[in-house]
Amino acid sequence: MEITAYKTSDGQIFENEGKAKAHQEDILGELLDAFLPYDDRGNVTATDRYNLLMKQLKDPDLYKKIKALYQTVEFMQEEDK
């Protein structure tokens, strides 16, 4: 008997591919959320932050932008050594 399982970047295992993808998107969303500035003046509501994040997640160039960011950070870390 063969069982197919899907592992996410945080090590969780799912039997359902859709649930694994949804969980992985949640992880990505949380990481991207850390990049959004918090407005301590109260001008950006929680709904505004959510809408900005959803727009980022739907960006067709998201992975390309993240890869470029990663490569830039890696380069800068190498230069600091």
**Per-residue pLDDT reduced to its tens digit, 15-47:** 999 999 999 999 998 888 888 777 777 788 888
Percent of the chain exceeding pLDDT 90 equals 51
* DSSP assigned state of 11: S
Q: What is the pLDDT of residue 44?
A: 81
- Kindly write down the DSSP assignment for every residue of 12-78, as one continuous string: -EESSHHHHHHHHHHHHHHHHHTTSPP-TTS-S-HHHHHHHHHHHHT-TTHHHHHHHHHHHHHHHHH
CA atoms within 13 A on the CB side of 47: 0
pLDDT band, very low/low/confident/very high, at 14 (cuts 50, 70, 90) = very high
